[in-house]
Homo-oligomer: A and B are copies of this chain.
Amino acid sequence: MKGIRQLADHLDISIGTVSRALNGKADVNPQTRQRVLEAAEKLGYVANQSGRSLRKGSTGVIGFMMQTGPEITGQGDSFFMSVFDGVQTVLARHDLDLVALLCSSSEDPDAYLQRTVARGFADAIILSATRRNDARFELLDRHKIPFISLGRSLTDVGQPWIDLDFEGMAEIAMERLVLAGHKDIGVIWPHGDLNLGHLFVERCRSVLGTHGIRLREENIFRGKPSEAGGYAVAKEIAARPSRPSAIALVNETLVTGLYKGLEEAGITPGKDIAIVGRHSPHTQFLSPTLTGFNLSLHDLGIALAETLLSEMPAYRQAYEGLRRRVWPMMLIEGASG
């Protein structure tokens, strides 16, 4: 089935009527509509995307931009897949489709996004892996395309965002460790210019300050957001003449490697060093069990979708959610700290 023309000819009806029937417009005889729908179903006709969006000026596609490569900045892909599933439960109600806009590791994210939105590929966009200063915000703002971000940035154009509560994690982690008597506390700052690292470390610093404890510069460990990154940090810690008695981190991909590196150095989490980290499907089986933060990825996805829709004129009235919010994290107590 090539196009609406064939379908119309086949039914001996004009294409206008066919289109109206398929799109649920009022001006069409119920009986005719029925015939059209059945024929479309039988012949497998679906309106061509290009023709449709050219005429309508919108595509019905929501893009979620993410970067590909072996090191997913900040998250693993089961993270995103779960979030996507949540997003889709909401979008499906409006016949909107979610696609992942994949920016290769060898392409500049700003240029990629520029290209993609200028082409008019998606009606709205969700950004992730937000950097400290992120030109993408201004770009989307200039193009007046509805968007939100999973993550904050210093660059602020007034768009809504949802972000994990990195400051909250910092506070709870630091308070907990201080309460347990730790005075020499280290933190892991994921490599790169992701905003979350700044948020977490700065809050750790200030919370410790209120307890009269200084976060020493050499206790801020830089680690690539990967298992190997965690391993490297562990080795670095182990090599120190005097090491911190506790470590806090917010990137779940680091945890496994960190555990392993420490273990190899004879350092046992929870005994020789306290660890407060992030949970993920992979961390639930660590030993000693991890004390760390968790969240519902599915619910996060739902919230993202609702917030995005509230930015889109066509759907705004149905969704008047919070425009900006920090996503609550649950602390799961384990043996590690």
Contacts and interface: CB of A to CB of B under 8 A. Distances in A.
B70 A82 contact: yes
Contacts of A101: 99
A80 B69 CA distance: 9
Interface string A37-80: 00000001111111111100001000000101111100011111
B285 A257 contact: yes
Interface stretch (A28-36, A114-122, A317-325): A114-122
Contacts of A85: 68-70, 104-105
B227 A256 contact: no
A65 to B, nearest CB: 10
A109 to B, nearest CB: 13
Contacts of A102: 84, 88, 98-100
Given A49-B120, A70-B82, A285 B298 contact: no
Contacts of A1: 118
Given A77-B79, A78-B70, A51 B54 contact: yes
Contact of A81 (B69, B98, B228, B284): B69
A89 to B, nearest CB: 7
A259 to B, nearest CB: 7
A115 B80 CA distance: 23
| Max chain B C-beta neighbours (<10 A), residue from A66, A81, A101 | A81
Interface residues of A, number: 67
Contacts of A53: 50
B78 A107 contact: no
A154 B185 CA distance: 57
Contact of A226 (B54, B80, B281): B281
Given A69-B85, A88-B107, A231-B285, 10 more contacts: A47-B119, A49-B59, A50-B53, A50-B59, A71-B78, A77-B78, A77-B79, A77-B80, A227-B282, A260-B285
Interface of A: 1, 44-54, 59, 66, 68-72, 76-82, 84-85, 88-89, 92, 97-102, 104-107, 114-116, 118-121, 226-228, 231, 253, 256-257, 259-261, 263, 281-282, 284-287, 297-298
A-B residue pairs, 3 tightest by C-beta = A260-B285, A46-B118, A100-B100
